[in-house]
């Protein structure tokens, strides 16, 4: 693909909304097609397979209900394009969207990491919008909303993608934008537009969304008290919710203590503030019977629910570290990384560590970082070596360098279609589970592109240590490259100490 048509992929996280079919149909009807479309099925317990037939060739990745941040990470790691375009599953694309997108990406200078699309929220013309419709309309002014946001893959790799500790939408995109800008990148607005219809919601939606106050607490813990200014996020009404809750608590305490006068005064304050909240939400709305009832009931519940979630978030996220956090484990490729590559080696006597391997592994152990090995051994599946011979070779590696805390071996041939064989992420996920650490706090050190891609597929970080078998394109595309194992471990230790960003080069 030429320079005027950047390579791009589309990632759509979904919980199975019906609107997904319309979006995929819109993509299929665009004049320009992406290199790859990944639909991330984030339903916890799907009863039926996800229907993506509206876009033939779309790939479905399942994540099991871990939230939009984790879903988007799984999606972009499953692609290989230079640009990744994130779309919500309930947006609709305009007729010329793909042409406008390519123009936006073509105009993005090398320092531009992301280009945002405009969001248009249609509201009824024949009546005033409801409270929920006005809330959704706020997306039109949102900064860096992933309803339509294109990011360079390199920038996503550098900051380790979305922070998966955000379990809901609306703050994970602001957090990513702040981290990308802190890493020295620029973000721009583009010319393309998407439509974001207001989806139907329940009577209690305004109460349910108060859970986002816990995410606001996480944003403060990560980015400081001025995070709203830097992320261009409106403050909202939380400061008014606190005295409303205090007045309600004083009213309740007065009633329980039999102090009627004090309870009455507190009740008057609580009622005034609750009525003000209800009217502020109702004044510019349709004022139908249903809307009045909804505003009256939910306005009494919103302040205590909001304060509860904010306090819960403050407690939970005390002392939180920046994403993705310290390195707690390192997984090594075996052949060509730890020991000389002897194809289909069945003889322990032929195991020869590469220079500096023992010292590199010992330095990690000395600071309490877990160590393991993840290795493709298709010789077993091909019938060239036996499992017993492989075990004997691995024991010899342990004797010379170890012992390692976990060994993960894929015995399958390349055409087996398994997830454990690198570049699949199965072995990395299994090793992380065996070590009791999350994959995002694991670094994979290897000598070829399959090791780097396997780390990305599992949500881990990676360091490439090239040798004679490493291709030039693998070196060029690797987020982090080290001259040798000593330099790779230097990078890991600096990263764990917090003196490097997630994608800095050693």
- In the prediction, which pLDDT does 498 show? 61
Same domain? For 66 and 90 the reply is yes
Same domain? For 258 and 359 the reply is no
Same domain? For 317 and 456 the reply is no
What's the rounded mean pLDDT across residues 20-27? 97
- Cα dihedral 93, 99, 102, 107 sign: negative
Same domain? For 134 and 146 the reply is yes
Same domain? For 183 and 261 the reply is no
| Structure token digits, residue 198 | 């207001």
Residue 2 in any domain: the answer is no
Residue 502 in any domain: the answer is no
User: Residue 313 is part of which domain span?
Assistant: 202-321
With bands split at pLDDT 50, 70 and 90, how would you rate the model's confidence at 417? confident
Same domain? For 229 and 196 the reply is no
Same domain? For 455 and 346 the reply is yes
Picking from 171, 201, 231, the residue at the C-terminal end of a domain is: 201
Task: Kindly report, residue by residue over 375-393, the tens digit of the pLDDT.
Answer: 999 999 999 999 999 999 9
- In the prediction, which pLDDT does 10 show? 98
Burial of 488 (0-12, 13-18, 19+ CB in 10 A): buried
Closest CA to 331 of 462, 228, 440: 462
Task: Kindly report, residue by residue over 197-210, the tens digit of the pLDDT.
Answer: 999 999 999 999 99
Picking from 302, 321, 340, the residue at the C-terminal end of a domain is: 321
- In the prediction, which pLDDT does 505 show? 47
- What is the residue-averaged pLDDT of the chain? 93
For the ranges 131-135, 281-285, 355-359, 474-478, the lowest mean pLDDT is seen at 474-478
Task: Kindly report, residue by residue over 236-269, the tens digit of the pLDDT.
Answer: 899 999 999 999 999 999 999 999 999 999 999 9
| Structure token digits, residue 10 | 């589309």
Top pLDDT among 24 and 62 is at 24
Burial of 372 (0-12, 13-18, 19+ CB in 10 A): buried
| Structure token digits, residue 72 | 């988007």
pLDDT of 506 over the 70 cut: no
Same domain? For 195 and 216 the reply is no
Picking from 156, 181, 201, the residue at the C-terminal end of a domain is: 201
pLDDT of 154 over the 80 cut: yes
| Residues known to be catalytic | 333, 335
CB–CB of 247/270 below 8 Å?
Answer: yes
Same domain? For 238 and 261 the reply is yes
Residue 506 in any domain: the answer is no
- Residue 443 per-residue DSSP state: E
Same domain? For 233 and 309 the reply is yes
- In the prediction, which pLDDT does 503 show? 46
Number of domains in the chain: 3
What's the rounded mean pLDDT across residues 287-315? 96
Same domain? For 14 and 154 the reply is yes
With bands split at pLDDT 50, 70 and 90, how would you rate the model's confidence at 47? confident
- Cα dihedral 342, 348, 349, 353 sign: positive
- Cis peptide bond N-terminal to 199, omega within 30: no
- In the prediction, which pLDDT does 4 show? 60
Top pLDDT among 442 and 417 is at 442
Model-wide pTM > 0.75: yes
């Amino acid at each position: 693909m030429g320079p005027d048509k950047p390579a791009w992929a589309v990632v759509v996280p979904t919980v199975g909304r019906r609107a997904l079919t319309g979006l995929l149909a819109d993509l299929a009807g665009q004049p320009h097609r992406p290199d790859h479309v990944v639909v991330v099925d984030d339903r916890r317990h799907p009863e039926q397979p996800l229907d993506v037939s509206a876009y033939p060739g779309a790939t479905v990745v399942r994540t099991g209900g871990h939230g939009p941040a984790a879903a988007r990470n799984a999606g972009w790691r499953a692609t290989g394009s230079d640009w990744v375009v994130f779309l919500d599953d309930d947006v609709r694309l305009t007729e010329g969207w793909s042409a406008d997108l390519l123009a936006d990406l073509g105009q993005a200078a090398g320092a531009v990491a992301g280009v945002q699309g405009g969001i248009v929220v249609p509201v009824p013309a024949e009546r005033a919008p409801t409270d929920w419709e006005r809330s959704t309309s706020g997306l039109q002014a949102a900064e860096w909303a992933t309803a339509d946001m294109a990011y360079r893959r390199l920038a996503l790799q550098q900051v380790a993608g979305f922070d998966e500790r955000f379990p809901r939408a609306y703050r994970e995109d602001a957090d990513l934008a702040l981290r990308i800008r802190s890493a020295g990148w620029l973000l721009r607005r583009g010319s393309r537009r998407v439509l974001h219809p207001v989806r139907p919601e329940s009577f209690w939606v305004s109460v349910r969304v108060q859970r986002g106050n816990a995410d606001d607490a996480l944003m403060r813990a990560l980015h400081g008290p001025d995070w709203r200014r830097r992320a261009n996020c409106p403050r909202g009404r939380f400061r008014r919710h606190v005295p409303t809750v205090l007045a309600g608590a004083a009213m309740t305490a007065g009633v329980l203590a039999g102090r009627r006068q004090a309870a009455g005064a507190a009740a008057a304050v609580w009622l005034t503030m609750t009525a003000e909240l209800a009217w502020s939400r109702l004044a510019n709305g349709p004022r139908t019977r249903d809307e009045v009832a909804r505003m009256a009931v939910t306005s009494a519940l919103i302040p205590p629910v909001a304060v509860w979630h904010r306090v819960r978030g403050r407690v939970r996220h005390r002392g939180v570290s920046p994403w993705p956090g310290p390195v707690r484990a390192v997984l090594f490729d075996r052949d060509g990384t730890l020991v000389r590559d002897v194809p289909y080696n069945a003889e322990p006597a032929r195991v020869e560590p590469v220079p500096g391997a023992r010292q590199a592994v010992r330095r990690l152990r000395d600071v309490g970082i877990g160590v393991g090995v993840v290795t493709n051994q298709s010789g077993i599946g091909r019938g060239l070596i036996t499992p017993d011979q492989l075990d004997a070779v691995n024991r010899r590696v342990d004797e010379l360098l170890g012992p390692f805390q976990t060994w993960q071996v894929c015995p399958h041939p390349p055409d087996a279609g398994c997830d454990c064989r690198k570049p699949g992420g199965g072995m990395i996920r299994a090793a992380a589970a065996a070590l009791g650490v999350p994959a995002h706090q694991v670094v994979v050190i290897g000598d070829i592109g399959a090791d780097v891609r396997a780390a990305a597929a599992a949500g881990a970080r990676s360091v490439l240590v090239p040798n004679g078998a490493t291709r030039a394109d693998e070196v060029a595309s690797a987020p982090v490259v080290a001259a040798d194992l000593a330099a790779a471990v230097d990078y890991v230790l600096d990263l764990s100490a917090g003196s490097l960003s997630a994608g800095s080069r050693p």
